[in-house]
Structure 1
Amino acid sequence: MATLSVIGSSSFIAYAVFQNIQKSPEIRPLFYLSFSDLLLGICWLIEALLYGTSVANKDIVCYNLQAVGQIFYISSFLYTVNYIWYLYKELRMRHNQNGQSTFPLVIDYTCHVGQIAIILSSLIPLLLMIPVFCLGNVSECFHNFSQSHRCILMFSPPSAMAELPSANTSVCSTLYFYGITIFLTSFLLSLLTIVVLLIQAQTLYKKFVKKTGFLGSEQWAVIHIVEQRVRFYPVAFFCCWGPAVILVIIKLTKPQDMKIHMALCVLQALTASSQGLLNCGVYSWTQYKFYQLKQQARRDADTQTPLLCSQKRFYSRGLDTMESALGFDTSPPPFFETVILEHPGTRIIPH
């Protein structure tokens, strides 16, 4: 599963670099999310390869690899929140643009906030894990870390070796519960934020559908795909990390129930290491659906009147830009103008 995750995340990274879209506002958080999934998959793959082999200083390597892995999966939580937040802002901006212009300062502010959030998503996990690196290595918490499957488990209990001083055992136990607390807190906060953004996005989408205005078929395709991504990425996020969270909670509440631990460990191995693969699959599927919707819009335009056929040519000119950045102009086409009467209602008059 770690190998599949590495293949999936690296495929998206290669696609973004090849298409030169990694710096676009939408792709940037997803690009860093895939990069974090790639590094996390590599860490898990190395741990799996180390398991069952005799390597010098294997305990130290396994302990520090797991600490590095914790940095990457906390970063993946934050990058997922960043991406869902961007999709929500995209829907909100499209809703506000329907019938009015958006100020450039608002767009610049959103871009700056997104860049700061990406930097913090990498910096915060690193700062949180500094005590695990420093105190854990100084107190030699890595003793016996490669035994009893501890090298391939996300959270391994502290070493209870008799030769360790009692003070060191206490420090290792504290760091163990500290790591679990950081994991659960970051996951629950990320999940709560994603759920709130999901509810807000669904509300915006319903308002968008009910709101009258002139939008082309391909523009609606963009809005529909953004709405789908707002729903599917949280589902992939929960499917990947839900079993791991349940396993950690059960370990804390029922530490002696080994049958449930083993079942959840197997399920966690299948899900937690597959985030890179699932994220790549969600993006590929929505891109394919977007292509289908655009093709359907083109076929529908072939059966329209000459005036609507001219609309088809108008949207075709902006198709390349729409494909690269999933952006569009929501203002009416130049061959239409909307007249607002004094009483409620509107009418559309051709030039």
Structure 2
Amino acid sequence: MAEMDVHSVLGLNMDSGSMEDAILNNATIADSWKGVYLTVKWMQVVTTLFSILASVAFIVYAVVRRVVKSAEVRPFFYLTVSDLLLAICWLIGAVVYRKSVCSRNPACYNIQAVAQMLYISTFFYTLNYIWELGKSLKRKLDNDLHKITSTERNIGRAAIILSSVVPAVLTVPTLYFGNKMECYGNSTHPHSCLVVNAGSLVTLDPQAYTNGTCKIIHLYSTSVFLCVFFLTATSMLVYVCVALRGYYTNDKGWTAINVMKMSLLLYLAIFFFSSVAAALLTILKLFDHEEKNELYKVLYYIQAFTAMSQGFLNCLAYWFIQQRLQCLNENSSHDMGTQTPLLSSQKRQYASTQIATNCALRPDMSSF
């Protein structure tokens, strides 16, 4: 009688046979994905460690050399700090991961919420750095390296502050109402702490929530992630296209133009490389909650590698660009001391070839 009462209260009109089949079916599906989740976990551990090491190396160097306040270094410094915090958060998620969880796990819910906040923060910091990079490189092209107005400084400081404040404000409802209403959803699922949930928290099926508020929180957090991604992606594309168009119309130094193109396009490529898989998975989960499609496995592997590598790739790109700029400065100084000056067109040709031939990628940290 007690069992029948429970079933009647829950509104379940399922016989014992169908219940057993459903349980076995769910168990079979879970077992088939355990290998995927375990692989994602170790990929997450390895890639986050690389990002942490690269980010810490740059942060320590920037602090020791006291270049954090530099107009060119400061935006990238804060981007690196944000990448570091994100990598640490996802490393914690991989450590907390278990193959099976027998009880509701609010820790994973909060880890994913904080990770999403930091992930969004990296979007804003990347946009800010690309914007600052374009202005800085334009000043170098115009031979006006020291012309930074107080208005530009104030805008830069405000952008850095807002890049952290806005994601935090957007995440407050998810953390506050989610914990108050215990909107942990399917946080009992084995992969609830892994990066595969970036953008959609730990929810597989919104119907698992017991009240409308939790469904709204899930939809809110997912919408915030996608809106911020498309907003920052569109802004970066528009800015880079406008900037490159302006550089093409300027006939001062082909080598400088090549460096500008390379730096802007490189950071833009890293942004899309690190975030497209997460955005695509978030969109797919809005329409397919069961994750039975084999496409999920491919995207999980891609996301575990790309999203986790963001900090490492950003630091690598920064070092690469600084080496190119150092080579450009060395070639310019050498050309100025030449007793037989070349024609203007020959100088541009000579400088562009020197970058490719004589400027090897030397591990000279002074370029930072």
| 8 Å Cα contact 1:5/1:37 also seen in 2 | yes
Cα deviations by residue, 1:257-283 (Å, 9 ceiling, x for unpaired): 521112111111111111100100100
Relative contact order higher in (CA < 8 Å, ≥ 6 apart): 1
CA RMSD of aligned residues (A): 3.2
The alignment of Structure 1 onto Structure 2 pairs a total of residues equal to 296
Partner of 2:328: 293
Return closer, same or farther for 1:133/1:304 CA change in 2, 3 Å cut-off: same
Query: Distance in 2 between the 1:223 and 1:231 partners?
Result: 12
Partner of 2:279: 245
Alpha-carbon deviation of 1:292? 2.7
Partner of 1:177: 219
Once the two structures are superposed, the pairs formed by residues 79-158 of structure 1 within 5 Å of their partners are: 79-93=125-139, 97=142, 107-142=149-184, 144-152=186-194, 153-154=197-198, 155=200, 156-157=202-203
Once the two structures are superposed, the pairs formed by residues 251-270 of structure 1 within 5 Å of their partners are: 251-256=285-290, 257-270=292-305
After the TM superposition, which of the residue ranges 13-22 and 277-286 deviates more from structure 2? Answer: 13-22
Cα deviations by residue, 1:136-168 (Å, 9 ceiling, x for unpaired): 001112265142311113232167798x7x32x
| 8 Å Cα contact 1:67/1:133 also seen in 2 | yes
Paired AA for residue 184 in structure 1? L
Alpha-carbon deviation of 1:27? 1.2
Return closer, same or farther for 1:255/1:53 CA change in 2, 3 Å cut-off: closer
Cα deviations by residue, 1:58-111 (Å, 9 ceiling, x for unpaired): 81221111111111111100001111111222344456x56xx8996x611111
| 8 Å Cα contact 2:248/2:257 also seen in 1 | no
Return closer, same or farther for 1:297/1:259 CA change in 2, 3 Å cut-off: same
Query: Distance in 1 between the 2:62 and 2:183 partners?
Result: 40
Question: Which of the numbers 67, 70, 90 marks the counterpart of 1:24?
Answer: 70
Partner of 1:304: 339
Query: Distance in 2 between the 1:90 and 1:161 partners?
Result: 50
| 8 Å Cα contact 1:67/1:132 also seen in 2 | yes
Partner of 1:236: 270
Partner of 1:36: 82
Secondary structure at the residue paired with 1:258? coil
Paired AA for residue 312 in structure 2? L
Alpha-carbon deviation of 1:231? 1.6
Query: Distance in 2 between the 1:189 and 1:260 partners?
Result: 26
Q: TM-score, normalised by structure 1?
A: 0.75
Query: Distance in 2 between the 1:239 and 1:102 partners?
Result: 31
Alpha-carbon deviation of 1:243? 1.0
Query: Distance in 2 between the 1:158 and 1:251 partners?
Result: 7
| 8 Å Cα contact 1:26/1:325 also seen in 2 | no
Once the two structures are superposed, the pairs formed by residues 200-211 of structure 1 within 5 Å of their partners are: 200-208=242-250, 210=251
Paired AA for residue 95 in structure 2? L
- Structure 1, unmatched stretches of 5+, are 307-322, 327-351
Question: Which of the numbers 69, 74, 78 marks the counterpart of 2:115?
Answer: 69
Secondary structure at the residue paired with 1:151? coil
Return closer, same or farther for 1:13/1:55 CA change in 2, 3 Å cut-off: farther
Return closer, same or farther for 1:305/1:102 CA change in 2, 3 Å cut-off: closer
Alpha-carbon deviation of 1:234? 0.6
Query: Distance in 2 between the 1:20 and 1:52 partners?
Result: 42
After the TM superposition, which of the residue ranges 6-15 and 54-63 deviates more from structure 2? Answer: 54-63
| 8 Å Cα contact 2:185/2:203 also seen in 1 | no
| 8 Å Cα contact 1:201/1:227 also seen in 2 | no
Identity of aligned residues (%): 37
Cα deviations by residue, 1:11-39 (Å, 9 ceiling, x for unpaired): 22122112211111121111111000000
Alpha-carbon deviation of 1:228? 2.5
- Structure 2, unmatched stretches of 5+, are 1-46, 342-364
